[in-house]
Amino acid sequence: MPIDEIIGEIVGAVVEGAVEVVGTGVSEVVAAVFDGGGGEKKPDTGEGLIVVGGSYAGAQIAASAREAGYTGRIRLVSAEAHTPYHRPPLSKAYLLGKAERESLPIRGAAFYDEEKVELLLSTPIVGADRANRTLTTAGGDTLKWDRLALATGARARTLADMPDKVLVLRDLADADRLRALAADARRVVVIGGGYIGLEAAASLSQLGKRVTVIEMQDRLLARAATPALANFVADAHRARGVELLFGARDVGFEHYHGVLSGVRASDSTGRAHTLPADLAVVGIGVHPNTELAAMLGLAVDDGIRVDEFARCIDAASGAPVPEIVAAGDCTRHPSRWNPAQGRGLRLESVQNATDQSKIAGATVAGAAAAKPYDAVPWFWSDQYDLKLQMVGLSGVPDTTVTRGNMASNRFSLFHFRAGVLVGVDSVNKPADHMLARRLLASRVPVTPEQAADANFDLRSTLPS
């Protein structure tokens, strides 16, 4: 029986109370199976755990490893000059000038001191070797590790030949540049109608810029939201003066001595447009940072492949590697939430980076988490006065019902496939969102009729 199935059976049985474990904790049972897994775990040499990547996943892995009792040395290595910070405000409150740097750190300085997490900032890792258990920094130093966590996240995709004043928005340095350039810009083109592009469009429009969003697909949020929510969001942007151009092809840039002057694109009819612009934001998705994993001989498939305990997978044997975990935007994990089960799921969200890292931290500490990673995916986005909160993966639902009033900008869309609730999108309805998380996690049956009836108390469907 493959090791995954053995773990699954034992964990499932222990969690459900079907086996009695005398004198042994769940984590020890799992750890015993875990250590005898796909690769022999080499003995620790005192080098401890290195976490590569200083953002949500990196900080959480370090914290969770300590929480799980790991007492060895922990080093958190990041290419960036800052301690882990919140990225969501970069396209929202920070771009609007309503949040400043001091509010961005995910954890205060005291955390790193108290938990004895050594920070190696401005230290990109450019090489990795599994046999010798080493990493190589861009400065040429060698770092040795006993256990390794990859929390390398993702980088923004770019377009060819981007002149000056064309930016992506992934990190604080990008946001600072965007803020500075936005001060003098009048006409902005945002390339890409996903969440980051739309948040940037909303913020820049609120700052008084004339904004056009150009999108390749025939609607907004094609990858990330249901058509019903996407249409609502499109109307919200148009109502606030943002122009939307769909079916865009052949996007390119006009420039004057290397400085942006316009954005070219043809629309779905093939008609060519040149939009004058003194600033452009490219929000066309991300590439997961998987290069180190590949160097380590780990399986990569548009994301570092991990199992439900966040263990990386050996590329040659397909077996989990006990001493290397990965979590966050850089990973692809097995998930029952994914309608296309086979390939697993790669999520780009704070929820996933945080929740998966809790498992990764416990796993790499040697106390494998009692439960495999199975959190309900959720995400939020702030645009204008709209708080969008999405839970579940709705994909293409066959039935959608509205609870609340769309015209008042306070409603939730409940999405069903084959009669099963698969996701809920809420607009300015945080209570609905919180309840929907519980409904999806507990998998209680909810009917479209119940969801659409604002007088029906959905909490009554939850187990007491």
Ligand X SMILES: Cc1cc2nc3c(=O)[nH]c(=O)nc-3n(C[C@H](O)[C@H](O)[C@H](O)COP(=O)(O)OP(=O)(O)OC[C@H]3O[C@@H](n4cnc5c(N)ncnc54)[C@H](O)[C@@H]3O)c2cc1C
Q: Could you tell me which stretch among 86-94, 243-251, 268-276, 305-313 binds ligand X (CB under 6 A)?
A: 86-94
CB of 161 to ligand X, least distance (A): 23
Of 243, 340, 330, the C-alpha closest to 292 is 330
Q: State how beta strands 210-214 and 187-191 pair.
A: parallel
Closest to 313 (Cα-Cα) out of 328, 333, 330: 333
Restricting to residues 330-349, name those near ligand X by CB under 6 A: 348-349
Task: Please list every residue from 201 through 220 that binds ligand X, using CB under 6 A.
Answer: none
Of the candidate residues 328, 334, 397, 423, the single one contacting ligand X (CB under 6 A): 328
Q: Quote the CA–CA distance of 281 and 284 in Å, as a whole number.
A: 9
Question: Which residue bears the tokens 């779905």?
Answer: 268
Of 83, 289, 290, 338, the one binding ligand X by CB under 6 A: 289
Near ligand X by CB under 6 A, which window of 109-117, 147-155, 242-250, 262-270? 147-155
Q: Which stretch binds ligand X (CB under 6 A): 99-107, 149-157, 295-303, 454-462?
A: 149-157
Query: Residues 296-315: x/- map of binding to ligand X (CB under 6 A)?
Result: --------------------
Q: C-beta of 271: minimal distance to ligand X in Å?
A: 32
Draw the binding track, 41-80, toward ligand X (x: CB under 6 A; -: no contact): -----------xxxxxxx------------------xxxx
Distance from C-alpha of 116 to C-alpha of 111, rounded to nearest angstrom: 8
Minimum CB distance to ligand X smaller for 37 or for 88: 88
Nearer to ligand X, 260 or 327 (CB): 327
To the nearest whole angstrom, how small is the minimum distance from the Cβ of residue 324 to ligand X?
A: 14
Residue 131: both structure tokens together: 């046999």
Stretch of 82-90, 220-228, 269-277, 397-405 lying at the interface with ligand X (CB under 6 A): 82-90
Q: Decide: 60 and 66 in contact? Cβ < 8 Å.
A: no
Of residues 226-285, those binding ligand X (CB under 6 A): none
CB of 33 to ligand X, least distance (A): 27
Q: Which of 7, 50, 68, 196 is close enough to bind ligand X by CB under 6 A? A: 196
Q: Exactly one of 50, 90, 106, 181 binds ligand X (CB under 6 A); which one?
A: 90
**Closest CB to ligand X among 153 and 193?**
153
- Taking CB under 6 A as the rule, which mask of x and - marks residues 123-142 in contact with ligand X? -xx-----------------
297 — alpha (psi -120 to 50), left (phi > 0) or beta?
A: left
Distances (CA, A) of 316 to 129, 130, 238, 294, 343: 15, 13, 51, 11, 18
Complex with ligand X: residue 53 or 344, whichever CB lies closer: 53
CA 229 to chain centre: 20
Of 95 and 458, nearer to ligand X (C-beta) is 95
Select from 27, 83, 152, 426 the one that contacts ligand X (CB under 6 A). Answer: 152
Site for ligand X in 375-404 (CB under 6 A): 379-381
Closer by beta carbon to ligand X, 40 or else 141: 141
Q: How far is the CB of 157 from ligand X (least distance, A)?
A: 12
State which of residues 265, 296, 350, 390 lies at the interface with ligand X (CB under 6 A). Answer: 350
Where along the sequence are the contacts to ligand X (CB under 6 A)?
A: 52-58, 77-80, 87-88, 90-91, 124-125, 151-154, 169-170, 196, 289, 292, 328-329, 348-351, 353, 379-381
